[in-house]
Amino acid sequence: MSRYLFVDDELISQSQGITLHTNPPKLEGPVLKGEMPWEEGWIHYACVLQEGDLVKMWYGAHPPGRDGELGPHYLCYATSHDGVNWERPKLGLVEFGGDRENNILPVRGDFVFSDPKAPPEGRYKMLVVRSTGDLERDGIYIALSPDGIHWKLHERRLLPFLPDTQNQVLYDPRIDRYVAYLRCWAPLRKVARVEVEDLLEPWEYDRSIEPRKLWGEGRLPPPSYEFPVAISYDEMDPPETDIYTPAVSIYPWARDVYLAFPSVYYHFPEPPEGRYRNDGLLEVQLAVSRDGVRFERPDRRPYIPLGVRGGPEGGSIYMVPGLVRMGDEIYQYYVAYAHSHGEYVGFEELRGVGAVYLAVQRLDGFRSADAEYTGGWLTTEPVVVSGGRLSLNIDCRATGHAEVELRSQDNLPIRGFTLEDCDLVRGNHVSYTVTWRGRSDITGLRGRWVRLHFRMRNAKLYSFGFSD
């Protein structure tokens, strides 16, 4: 099915009484906590990948630490068949506490993706930031794996930058190229975009830019202005606000939809006015794009809000990249902490910090075109009829309804498919087949450019699509 989502106003030619709204997911609580000795201190950032009926998670963990100092960082691997209950396979790769009965991987990286263009031995790829103090060898690398468990670091350094944590690289089938989303400082934190054809050869960047040596002379700098910016703060945000992370996903169940879930970081004052340096609160917002090049945050309300201050989700929240489809729902994950960004340095003991939480979103439900209680209408831009039936993802609630009219490119009603012909749509449906006087077949229009005219009352329209 070719589906069209109302994540922005690109599909809308005209409207009245219609507002685009962001729809936060349902929060279901923690699904992975630091229960093993090597993760009892701190659960770190993660990513997920769904392959068939198996969901795979790579997540960071630390054993307990003291006086604001973390124990060693480990990258761990877990799997799930339902997205809720997670198993830690005993991999036997890394020794901890005198044995190898654990799920620790012998590599440390940021983000894993499955490369459809790669040979089997390099099917899985991981973005690795190497930071040892060796200016000639530190920087951004790629690790390769046949199974997501056994990894080998590719020897070529791709970029001489240290962009901190939670960076991403993925394959974009729309342009048949690889795209990296890196944290950059320009001047505060933003998300930069790097597009490359060969992932394993050094990536190009603007060498005329003077490096911003934020980490000091003895370490490589982070990216700053060397790349185009994909996600940024702007004048609508409070002063001293960062875009902390990318968390970008290409939405695979619709046309030209890129979703990002950046953590937005609003700084507290620095000492002596503030208690800790580099401190503040972080929540997750939604950013959308049609090409993955430039994202807009159409609605600054939180997608994953902070919990009550002092509670387990009351200080900082980071989205886990990756979308998991479970029937008519999308499972998303996030890591939440009770502490603000810099507050942990005051903890006497670092134990039981953070967890991975589940958020459940409706299929296509991230944003919707909402009709007022008293009614509204919208007309789409022309689209090609690519199937024999029209399907809607729509919630008309108890007191709402909707009707659909098919129109020519010239915005004229098509005979037999007018509002007067349309059978009233009522109720809440993820996939509702529209009928006109009891008939759903639109095969005669296949291949034609048409506009869809919706007349709705108290309804949320998430998407439409054509199917056979």
Q: Output the tens digit of pLDDT for each of the chain's 468 residues.
A: 689 999 999 999 999 999 999 999 999 999 999 999 999 999 999 999 999 999 999 999 999 977 767 889 999 999 999 999 999 999 999 999 999 999 999 999 989 999 999 999 999 999 999 999 999 999 999 999 999 999 999 999 999 999 999 999 999 999 999 999 999 999 999 999 999 999 999 999 999 999 999 999 999 999 999 999 999 999 999 999 999 999 999 999 998 999 999 999 999 998 888 888 899 999 999 999 999 999 999 989 999 999 999 999 999 999 999 999 999 999 999 999 999 999 987 777 788 899 999 999 999 999 999 999 999 999 999 999 999 999 999 999 999 999 999 999 999 999 999 999 999 999 999 999 999 999 999 999 999 999 999 999 999 999 999 999
pLDDT at site 132 = 92
Report the alpha-carbon distance of residue 25 to residue 304 in Å, rounded: 8
Judged by phi (left if over 0) then psi (alpha if -120 to 50, else beta), residue 421 lies in alpha
Contacts of 76 (CB under 8 A, 6+ apart): 38, 39, 58, 59, 60, 61, 88, 102, 103, 104, 105
For the record, the structure tokens of 266 come out as 């609003």
The model's pTM is 0.96
User: Which pLDDT score is estimated for 212?
Assistant: 94
Instruction: Tell me which residue has tokens 């989205």.
Output: 319
207 CB burial (10 A radius; 0-12, 13-18, 19+): exposed
**91-94 own/partner pairs: CB under 8 Å, 24+ apart:** 91/149, 93/149, 93/150
Domains of the chain and any CATH numbers: 2-22+368-467 (2.60.120.260), 26-362 (2.115.10.20)
φ, ψ for residue 308 (rounded to 5)? -65, 135
Query: What is the pLDDT, as a whole number, of residue 1?
Result: 64
Cis, bond preceding 246 (omega within 30 deg of 0): no
Q: What is the pLDDT of residue 198?
A: 98
Q: Report whether 378 contacts 408 (CB < 8 A).
A: no
Residue 394: which of 426, 422, 359, 442 has the closest Cα? Answer: 426
Q: Which amino acid is at 190?
A: K
Question: Which long-range contacts link 85-91 to residues 24+ away (Cβ below 8 Å)?
Answer: 85/31, 86/31, 86/32, 86/57, 88/36, 91/149
- The gap between the terminal CA atoms of the chain, to the nearest Å, is 8
How much is the pLDDT for 272? 86
Q: Which residue has the tokens 């869809």?
A: 452
